[in-house]
Amino acid sequence: MKKALNLFRIEGIFLKYNLIAMLQYRLSYFLSVFYELFDALTMMAYFYIVFGSTSSIAGWAQSQIFTLVVVSYFINIVCVMLYIGMTSIPEYIHSGQLDLLLLKPVNKRFFLTFRSPNSVQILNFLVAAVGIGYCVAKSDAVAINIICFFIALLCSIILMYSVMCILISLSFWFIRIGNSWNIIELLNQMSAKPKNIFPMPIQLLLTLFIPALVIINNPAYILHFQYDIFLRQTLPITVIFYISSVIVFRLGLKKYSSAGG
Amino acid sequence: MRSIITQNLSRVYKSPVEKTGLARSAKGLFRKEFKYINAVTDMSFCAEHGDKIGILGLNGAGKSTLIKMLCGIIAPTSGSVVVGGYTPFQKKNDFLRLVSLVAGNKSQLNPDLSAWDNFRFLKSIYRVPERQFSETARKLTLLLECANLIDKQIRRLSFGERIKMEIVAALIHRPKFLFLDEPTIGLDVRSQESIRKILSDYCAEGDAVLFVTSHNLSDIVDLCNRILVIDGGTLRYDGGLAAFCAHYNTTSEINIEVENCTPRIREIVAGTGIVDCDFTGNMIRIQVEKTFITTVFRELIQKLSNDINKIQIIEPRTEDLLKELLIKGKVK
Ligand SMILES: Nc1ncnc2c1ncn2[C@@H]1O[C@H](COP(=O)(O)OP(=O)(O)O)[C@@H](O)[C@H]1O
Ligand SMILES: [Mg+2]
């Protein structure tokens, strides 16, 4: 408990100093707010142009597809806001800059992954949160679906974190790992569609190996259709991926042999 | 109490053999070959509080590797290291609060923040009490003559200014074990001096253990009371700096200026019990074994009293001595 509180305290410190840096010096951070917002708007426009004339696709009504888009936006924003900074870890490993970061008296995985957040995304976060609220209000879901929906959202955030963490830890072994962030973004955009439109093998792939469907699709599915998928898929997959990420990261740190100087 | 103990500490790096040429590189895609580098081999030594240790060695000797193992960044391949009662590589938070590392070529400061905000960030991470923090930060920045730069964004500082800030940042939580890997690399003489002053003050105040590697031998001579000489990953010498010099510094130099360097003078000089001599114009530089220096000196004065304009005994500077020993690989 005390440990968890300390992590919250440190996350607060990260956000605070990140905000200071942004407010004082970097216009580009603010541009990133508009970039993400623009991204979400394009995605919505895309849906209304492509699916606007049909009333339902693969059993999903238009409003339900809208939930998918909002969930995708929301997860994306939380990820960018809190732990996008971890994408520079491969570079730190490569250059040996990781050395000094490893000497901080804070849980290493937490410190490295949450160290440089993007705090101005709080603006996008608020917009996304309102969107989520709107989707829930418009749906005719019952209490149990709504509760599971919110827990599933939390799981999605953790799952997304775990997947990124695993990908990034791989650079302890393969120094030159490409820009894994692009792959994730691509998958997210792909999976913000009713999952039934994918052939079964691809659905399986996107559920078990790269759980993009679990992250984006399941919350919306839980809200609008059946909540039992939460226990059958979301929860176990999140737990498995989270534990794997912890293990892979630990092994990676053991393997770290520094560089330079 | 011994605060650092290493026993048969070794580190082997495994690194892929880089292939040259297209055909060989392509082959390397399928079968990777590795080579093993013994960066540190079988090092055993102890250190106590108050020790200020300089690590000497040529490029690639294994100095940085040793430091990285001492502060827990990388694991030893074999042997053991204990620092302040902890095994460094486990990176226990209580251990990490005791150590600090400054590496000239690496930065722990966030380039987007000012130095002051960086310090405050570290203060919160290490939970340094407010009083202690403002005292330390103010005092250090004044001493380093960088108090006026404290509000400047790190990325706008010059290299030397940044290193000063790195040193302040490293001392904010008052570490008991301070590791410095080439801290004065690329700094001007004045900055080097102020950094040395800060460090020796810091060590005098508390009883921190200091480890310094530097190519700048004056750093070592000024700061350290003990040296480890490393060559090719093995420890060649471990002991006091003064003892080291006494042991290896076996010759002194006598410089004579004469009116005119005639063959007769050369003969007389060569006839005294000297190790080596060098005639340039009317200057004669003579290397003499320390134990015979008085005899030789007296003999020269007697025999050459009419020809000598000036005669003096020159003690080699410690820096020069260290340099010579390192380069010629005399340390065995
Ligand atoms: N991360 C690494 N991977 C592979 N080899 C390394 C690595 N770091 C250092 N080495 C090798 O180990 C030896 C010692 O390096 P280092 O400790 O950096 O020397 P120094 O600091 O004394 O110049 C060198 O031969 C160097 O090439
Ligand atoms: Mg080095």
Alpha carbons B277 and B253: distance in angstroms, whole number = 9
In 3-state terms chain A splits into helix, strand, coil percentages (rounded to 5) of 80, 0, 20
* Region A80-99 average pLDDT: 90
CB atoms within 10 A of CB B168: 25
Question: Which string of b and e fits A97-134 if b means at least 16 CB within 10 Å?
Answer: bbbbbbbbbbbbbbbbbbbbbbbbbebbbebbeebbee
Contacts of B160 by beta carbon, 8 Å cutoff, 6+ apart? B186, B187, B188, B191
Alpha carbons A14 and A72: distance in angstroms, whole number = 25
Instruction: List, for residues A197-243, the tens digit of each pLDDT value.
Output: 888 888 888 888 888 889 999 999 999 999 999 999 999 999 999 99
- Whose alpha carbon is nearest atom 7 of ligand 1? A259
Of A21, A258, A261, the CB nearest to B110: A21
For a ligand 1 pocket test, name from B11, B65, B69, B230 the mutation site with the most ligand atoms within 8 angstroms of its C-beta. Answer: B65
Instruction: List, for residues A36-57, the tens digit of each pLDDT value.
Output: 788 778 877 877 777 667 777 8
The number of the ligand 1 atom at minimal distance from the alpha carbon of B59 is: 23
Asked whether the predicted pLDDT for residue B331 surpasses 60, the reply is: no
Contacts of B117 in chain A (CB under 8 A): 17, 20-21
Tell me, what's the pLDDT at B174? 93
Alpha carbons B151 and B301: distance in angstroms, whole number = 64
Alpha carbons A130 and B308: distance in angstroms, whole number = 97
Q: Are B55 and B211 in contact (CB under 8 A)?
A: yes
Amino acid at B199: L
Instruction: List, for residues B235-270, the tens digit of each pLDDT value.
Output: 988 988 888 877 777 778 888 888 888 888 888 888
Angle at A199 between CA A194 and CA A201, to 5 degrees: 120
Q: Inform me whether the C-beta atom of residue A6 falls under 8 Å from chain B C-beta atoms.
A: no
ipTM computed for the complex: 0.87
Q: Mind listing the domains of chain B with CATH numbers?
A: 2-246 (3.40.50.300), 250-315 (3.30.70.260)
Contact A13 B121 (CB under 8 A): yes
Phi, psi of A50 (to 5 degrees): -75, -45
What the block records as the tokens of B197 is 């002053």
Assign A4 a pLDDT band (cuts: 50, 70, 90): confident
Instruction: List, for residues B280-330, the tens digit of each pLDDT value.
Output: 888 888 888 878 888 888 888 888 878 888 888 887 777 777 777 776 666
CB atoms within 10 A of CB B217: 18
Q: Which long-range contacts (CB under 8 A, 24 or more apart) does B267-274 make?
A: B268/B300, B268/B303, B268/B304, B269/B300, B269/B304, B272/B296, B272/B299, B272/B300
Note the ligand closest to the C-alpha atom of B106: 2
Contact A257 B106 (CB under 8 A): no
Asked whether the predicted pLDDT for residue A178 surpasses 70, the reply is: no
Write out residues with Cβ below 6 Å of ligand 1: A 257-259; B 13, 15, 37, 39, 57, 59-65
Angle at B113 between CA B112 and CA B118, to 5 degrees: 135
Alpha carbons B282 and B86: distance in angstroms, whole number = 62
Q: Across the beta sheet with B283-289, what order do the strands follow?
A: B276-280, B283-289, B251-258, B308-314
Note the ligand closest to the C-alpha atom of B59: 1
- Pure H helices in chain B: 22-30, 63-71, 93-96, 115-126, 130-143, 159-171, 189-205, 217-223, 241-248, 263-271, 293-304, 318-328
Question: Nearest CA to CA, how far is B256 from chain A (Å)?
Answer: 44
